[in-house]
């Protein structure tokens, strides 16, 4: 697993995962990608190539990305995330389970509209018990959402 990883949201429709972005000037990591995003002359094609992890809108069966780095929505998860606290009664808690794998391992991500990524699970291709095996399991523990207030009519 490579660190750091920067997640970029473009037009509220696409999310890109950029591992260890580096500039020709030597700036790297989050500082490097922020410099690139703020530079109007940088077309950003190289860090975004093959790094699209989320392409909205989502639906079961949808897939995107090049071979060996493609993502597939395998199922709709009806159960709301644990610890969700909201004053918005109209919030849809259904999430989408996305999966991918490459030559290093497997990854599963749960995305809930209006909340975001609520669960990430990764595992290396090495068998459990192998000293090179690794796993990652990260979940959102609690989310507080505020209901938007309606404008007051005068």
Domain extent listing, the chain? 1-55, 57-154
Residue 127 confidence (pLDDT)? 92
Model pLDDT for residues 85-112, shown as the tens digit of each residue:
554 555 666 789 999 888 889 999 888 8
Q: Which residues contact 37 (CB under 8 A, 6 or more apart)?
A: 8, 44
**Alpha carbon 142 to chain centroid, angstroms:** 17
Residue 106 confidence (pLDDT)? 92
- How much is the average pLDDT of 69-78? 83
- Please determine, for residue 47, whether its predicted confidence score (pLDDT) is greater than 70: no
Strand order in the sheet with 52-55: 5-10, 14-19, 52-55
Instruction: Tell me what the pLDDT averaged over the chain comes to.
Output: 75
Residue 114 confidence (pLDDT)? 76
Q: Is the peptide bond between 33 and the residue preceding it cis, with omega within 30 degrees of 0?
A: no
Single pTM value for the model? 0.67
Total length of the chain: 154
For the ranges 22-26, 27-31, 115-119, 120-124, the maximum mean pLDDT occurs at 120-124
């Amino acid at each position: 697993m490579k660190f750091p990883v920067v997640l970029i949201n473009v037009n509220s429709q696409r999310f890109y995962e950029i591992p260890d972005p580096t500039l020709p000037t030597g700036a790297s990591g989050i500082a490097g990608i922020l410099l690139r995003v703020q530079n109007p002359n940088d077309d950003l094609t190289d860090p975004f190539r093959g790094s699209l992890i989320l392409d909205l809108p989502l639906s079961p069966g949808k897939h995107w990305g090049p071979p060996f780095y493609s993502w597939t929505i395998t199922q709709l998860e009806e159960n709301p995330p644990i610890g969700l606290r909201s004053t918005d009664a109209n919030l849809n808690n259904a999430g989408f389970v996305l999966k991918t794998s490459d030559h290093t391992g497997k990854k599963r991500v749960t995305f809930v509209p209006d909340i975001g990524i609520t669960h990430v699970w990764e595992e290396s291709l090495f068998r459990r018990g192998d000293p090179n095996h690794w796993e990652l399991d990260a979940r959102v523990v609690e989310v507080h959402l505020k209901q938007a207030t309606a404008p007051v009519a005068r």
